[in-house]
Amino acid sequence: MKRKQLEKKLNKIQTSKSKNTIKIILPLFVLLIIVGIGFSFSLPEDNSYIVRINIINGYEELFIENVHDNVFSAYIDSDYKEGKVTCSKGNLSYDNETSIISGKVTSDVLCTLEFDKSTYKTMVDLKDLNRINDNFGTSYYYKRSSNNNYFLYNDDYYRIIRINSNGSFRLMKLDGIANINYDKEEIYRVLNNWYENKSINSLEMDYDNNTYNNNYNSNLINLDGYDLLRVGLISVNEVNLICGGVDCANSYLSGNYFTSNDDGVNSIVVKDGLIDAYDNEKYEVRPVINIEVNKLVGDGTIDNPYMIGY
């Protein structure tokens, strides 16, 4: 009898321990499940993508960025005004006004951004300049009354004639380097000696050498009659276009100097601001050069002329 009572007590104690164990384990199990679910929700999804942009004619050759959201935007610039994007993976666009390349990214992106070298940027406001076609594209030349085209280079003052289609500056020296009678060989000997002594870094450009008999062009396209030189003279056609076919006396092209053209026998000159035939008098030799400018300072006025910035 006593033994049976003892067994009942033992069974009761064991049953109670089992219930208590279940009471402890069950909440812990539920807690672990909740924590596990919460942890799984808090794990970030890996939405990062690689944007790779090959750049042609830019300041850099390659742009790579790891994008962690779906919106991509970056600033990429060059010396040229127009850039075009082509993509083999993804889709991006380029804004030429802001130099921003952007797009929605949902996978890795592989694009090429190519800048058009015929759209060279200048650091001069072109809105007040006259636009005209030349042998290689579009030039912008200063009007006859311009007073903001002074340029100081190698301690000499020039006037900017025009900004060439490749973005270089075509400059004519403000005063002559010699005052001589017409002799074509002598003129170019004087020019070349001056050029070498001044250590000027001028681009090789086209200089009109056509024969003119009052047959001026309405543009600067001249595919046959020109010389490729590093230093030369202003052409009759440039004078005529800038001065509008009238007297240049009250313009920045006033003076008495030789042009790069002849009438079949003698040089055509600018005399007292007018295009005229050579008359056996002495005229100035005014060098014309073309320089590349990557940075410009000044505002072009006589008191604050443009200069190359470094």
Each residue's pLDDT, cut to its tens digit, for the chain (310 residues) gives: 545 554 555 455 455 555 554 455 555 444 544 445 444 444 445 679 999 999 999 889 999 999 988 899 999 988 788 999 999 999 999 999 889 999 999 999 999 999 987 776 667 877 788 888 888 888 999 999 999 999 999 999 999 999 998 889 999 999 999 999 999 999 999 999 999 999 888 999 999 998 887 777 778 888 778 899 999 999 999 999 998 877 888 899 999 999 999 988 889 999 988 999 999 999 999 999 999 887 888 999 999 999 987 6
Distance of CA 93 to the CA centre of its chain: 18
Instruction: With CA atoms as reference, report the closest residue to 65 among 87, 83, 50, 81.
Output: 50
Which two structure tokens, joined as six digits, stand for 154? 């190698």
- The DSSP bridge pattern shows strands 49-56 and 109-115 to be parallel
pTM, two decimals, is 0.64
Domain range list for the chain: 1-33, 49-115, 126-308
In three-state secondary structure terms, 87 is strand
How high is the pLDDT of residue 111? 97
Instruction: With CA atoms as reference, report the closest residue to 203 among 224, 231, 172.
Output: 231
